[in-house]
Amino acid sequence: MTEIEAKLRFNNYCLGDCRFGSISAFLHDPDGRVMFMPTWWASLMRYAAKVLNRHHRTVKEIDWAPVVHGTCREYRRYYKPRRFRLHEAFYPGDVIVVYAVLPDGLPISDFQELLSIAGQYKGISPFGADRNFGTFDVESVQPRKRQ
């Protein structure tokens, strides 16, 4: 098993979808850090495994850390002229860091290829995972160095 750190750069907006008063926010842990559920990542990786037609079993064994490391900001999503919904968001160009543990049999290079496919075609965004929200490029994947 290998613990990795992946840096992802968003190509379009990644929007929160949990309503808290006047804002649609991301899920947060007790320390206030943004969380993306491991099931969301698992779904993306199953899709990528289908596209590549390999690693169908091994992607199910990836353990994802729910905390996402990055800084989100407020974003106004206009749905009519002068009418908008306020969201917590990662903007295009923002970089986040996610951690995962890869099972034996899944090399880092294959994981990076799978993650690249997932980011290009599906993306990750609580508001909606499709080409309109949360698509990303993989900047790097490397073994995690603990301090």
- Tens digits of per-residue pLDDT, 23-59? 899 999 999 999 999 999 999 999 999 999 999 999 9
pLDDT at position 129, please? 63
The number of helix segments (H) and strand segments (E) in the chain equals 2, 11
Q: Are 14 and 21 in contact (CB under 8 A)?
A: no
61 φ/ψ angles, rounded to the nearest 5 degrees? -100, 0
Q: In the predicted model, what is the mean pLDDT of residues 51-78?
A: 95
For residue 128, pLDDT over 90 is answered with no
Band of pLDDT at residue 131, cut at 50, 70 and 90: low
Asked whether the predicted pLDDT for residue 103 surpasses 90, the reply is: yes
| Cβ contact 46:59 at 8 Å | yes
What average pLDDT does the structure give for the chain? 94
Q: What is the CATH classification number for the domain harbouring 87?
A: 3.30.70
Query: H or E stretch including 99?
Result: strand 95-102
* pTM beyond 0.85, yes or no: yes
- The residue length of the chain stands at 147
Residue 93 lies in domain: 2-143
Overall domain count for the chain: 1
User: What is the three-class DSSP state of 120?
Assistant: helix
Give the pLDDT of residue 145.
Answer: 87
